[in-house]
Structure 1
Amino acid sequence: MLTPTLSLRGIVPPLITPLSDHDQLDHDGLQRLLTHVIEGGVSGVFLLGTTGEAPSLSYRLRRELIERSVRIIDGRIPILVGITDTAFVETVELARHAKECGAQALVLTTPYYFPAGQTELLGYVRKVVESVDLPVVLYNMPQLTKVWFEIDTLQRLAELDRVIGVKDSSGDLDYFKRLCELKSVRPDWSVLIGPEALLAEAHALGGDGGVNGGANVAPTLFVDCYRALQSGDEQEHARCQAKIHAFQSIYEIGKYASRHIKATKSAASLMGICSDLPALPFHRFLPPEREQVAAILRDLGLL
């Protein structure tokens, strides 16, 4: 086995999936979106994550998204691909497709629907890693999968060279601190935070950056915040952090759990980047909600 060399630091947006119709990729929107985040200075992109609505997309569309994104990016930044599925075989098949297309890494969360025990999870991850030929980032998302990557489990999975880090979206900073302490075992690991409002706290605990949905809309803001944290520029960090906190208001619009995706897609469409259509069963925001998103963007100078 080759030791992976990919090291992730900075802001890696979990890319929204632009749709022109149900089960149809918005090709022009994807081009604009990728150009937007790359010009914003991001360190990579994560396809087919939660913000990308991966479980709601057909396998055909997932493969098309990977193929087109690899062609558009053309080696400028690393591409991470989410491969989690309820079926082990589908996970491995998508991983192999990502490898063939030219992606640089895979992202794997705990299988959803039937909750796995930690012993089962250990065996599952080992089997996936043995079956794929790219570095793997583990993704802790217990709110949606119902299962945590417990710290003891991660310590054992750190023995796998091909596992190169963890993205944590739990929002539990005590857990994140313990996660960062695993770097004593794997100093090469990248430990990234999901909840974007916690970017500064995560950095203080030893985190390496963020996989932040807001970076689809305002990549420069999140990149500037990360760079200020790295350089110790407190004034610039305070400026960016205030804007990031204000940006969080878009996620309070609407009443369903899908509002996070709707708000992000709505913001991107208002900025002329891509369509705001979500995958079924979700609906796009209606005009009153879109106007609330627009007002927040205007206040932040993004529109």
Structure 2
Amino acid sequence: MLANKMTGSWPVAPTAFNDDGTLDLDGMGRVLDCIVDTGADGVCILANFSEQFLIDDAERETLTRFCMKHLGGRIPAIVTISHYATEVAVKRAQLAKDLGARAVMMMAPYHGALMRGSAQQTYEQLAQVGEVGIPIMIQDAPLSGVELPVDLLVRMAREIEMVQHFKIECVGAATKLRALIAAGGDAIVSPLDGEEGITQLADLDAGATGTMCSAMIPEWIAKVVLAHSKGDRDAAVETYTKILPAVNHENRQCGFRAAKAAMVEGRVIRSDFCRHPVAPLPPETREELLGLLRPLDPISMRWGL
């Protein structure tokens, strides 16, 4: 299979709920349409910023099928399939492939704070998912609590054909990206960063080809990537400096609730409901966020007006 490099912005789609906590599929469609209209290079569904840990299995399948059909190939989609059980991850990968996903994203196998896959178990899970025949993005995220050293990532990239893309979100992401690219060479097809772009500039300097951000300001994230890719680092720094207060507030104060707040403001979705035990965004924090976003005039805050 020809490997395709992922560049630019790949926002994570927030999951739309009604005020009573049920899925809002009409709102989900509007979320996807809004993301397409930002000019995003692709979209990721059912990720951590989609509240995947608050969605049951039946809802997950409903969302996967709905999102893939609604997108209709307008932009490529990555489907998150992380699960501690390898058989479950394989089934999720097969469904994503059957529905036309560009790739699947997965963290190392873990469950809670203490059940973590070893290096060998992680390798084995990735290898079995790879047999499905859909490209894999490894998400190196602190949430899993599983250490993924560079030599293990490079080994999987070289020995498992479908392991092609990497979302590096660990502490010191730029250092790890630089080491990963140097050690893995052409086997590292797409080195991306995450964490809402909070370390984006350093990560691009280290060789990241794009950013998997939230759906809050993906058009601005893409501007940073594009300027940097053209060798205009000064323009990248200027844009990054402009958006950093909002990105920092999102990363440190709001989490996945930020994109929802912006989309309610822009009438993309009707509700910014988050399922318990996640607390609603405090009104003061929400207003601080919107105040930082308004000068940027993001598409998410005016799409449905």
| Residues 32-74 of structure 1: per-residue CA shift (max 9 Å, x gap) | 2212221212111111111111122111111121112112211
Shift of 1:23: 5.6
Map of 1:301 onto structure 2: 297
Normalising to structure 2: TM-score of the pair?
Answer: 0.88
Q: Is 1:232 matched up with 2:251?
A: no
1:252/1:224 CA distance change after superposition, 3 Å: closer
C-alpha distance in 2 between matches for 1:295 and 1:65: 32
Shift of 1:235: 4.8
Instruction: Report what 1:244 is aligned to.
Output: 243
CA deviation profile, 1:271-301 (whole Å, cap 9, x unmatched): 2222311233212224333222222222433
CA distance in 1, matches of 2:72, 2:66: 10
Give the conservation status (yes or no) of the 8 Å contact 1:15–1:46: yes
What's 2:128 paired with? 127
Residue 12 of structure 1 pairs with residue 7 of structure 2: no
Does structure 1 residue 263 correspond to structure 2 residue 258? yes
Percent identity of paired positions between Structure 1 and Structure 2: 24
Distance 2:237 2:166 in 1: 27
For residue 98 of structure 1, what is the aligned residue in structure 2?
96
Would you say the 8 A contact 2:9–2:219 is kept in 1? no
Aligned to 1:199: 200
Q: Per the alignment, in what secondary structure is the counterpart of residue 166 of structure 1?
A: strand
Deviations along 1:103-138, one digit per CA (max 9) or x if unpaired, are 1211111112211221222222212222x2311111
Contact map agreement 2:13 2:50 (CA 8 A) in 1: yes
Give, in whole Å, the separation in 1 of the partners of 2:126 and 2:20: 32
Q: State the secondary structure of the residue aligned to 2:104.
A: strand
Q: Is the 8 A contact 2:21 2:274 kept in 1?
A: no
- For residues 236 and 89 of structure 2, the distance between their equivalents in structure 1, rounded to whole angstroms, comes to 39
Distance 1:9 1:266, change over 3 A: same
Distance 1:286 1:126 in 2: 43
Q: Secondary structure at the match of 1:263?
A: helix
SS where residue 20 of structure 1 aligns? coil
Maintained 8 Å contact 1:247/1:300: no
Q: 1:57 aligns with which of 44, 55, 65?
A: 55
In 1, distance between residues paired with 2:236 and 2:251? 24
Which amino acid in 2 is paired with 1:276?
Answer: D
Deviation (angstroms), 1:80: 0.5
Counterpart of 2:203 in 1: which secondary structure?
A: helix
Aligned to 1:144: 143
Structure 1 residues 72, 292: CA separation in 2 closer, same or farther (over 3 Å shift)?
A: same
CA distance change for structure 1 residues 22 and 86 in 2, over 3 Å: closer, same or farther?
Answer: farther
Q: CA RMSD in A?
A: 2.0
Paired residue type of 1:12: W
Deviations 1:137-164 (A, max 9, x none): 11101x2111022111112111211111
Question: Separation in 2 of the partners of 1:239 and 1:139?
Answer: 28
State the partner residue of 1:284. 280
Of 43, 56, 76 in structure 1, the residue corresponding to residue 74 of structure 2 is: 76
In 2 relative to 1, CA 166–39 (structure 1 residues): closer, same or farther, beyond 3 Å?
Answer: same
State which drifts further: 14-23 or 47-56: 14-23
Query: What SS does the corresponding residue of 2:280 show, helix, strand or coil?
Result: coil
Contact 1:277–1:283 (CA<8 Å) still a contact in 2?
no
TM-score calculated relative to the size of structure 1:
0.89
SS of residue paired to 2:139: strand
Q: Is the contact between residue 4 and residue 135 of structure 1 (CA under 8 Å) also seen in structure 2?
A: no
- Give the residue type in structure 1 aligned to 2:202: E
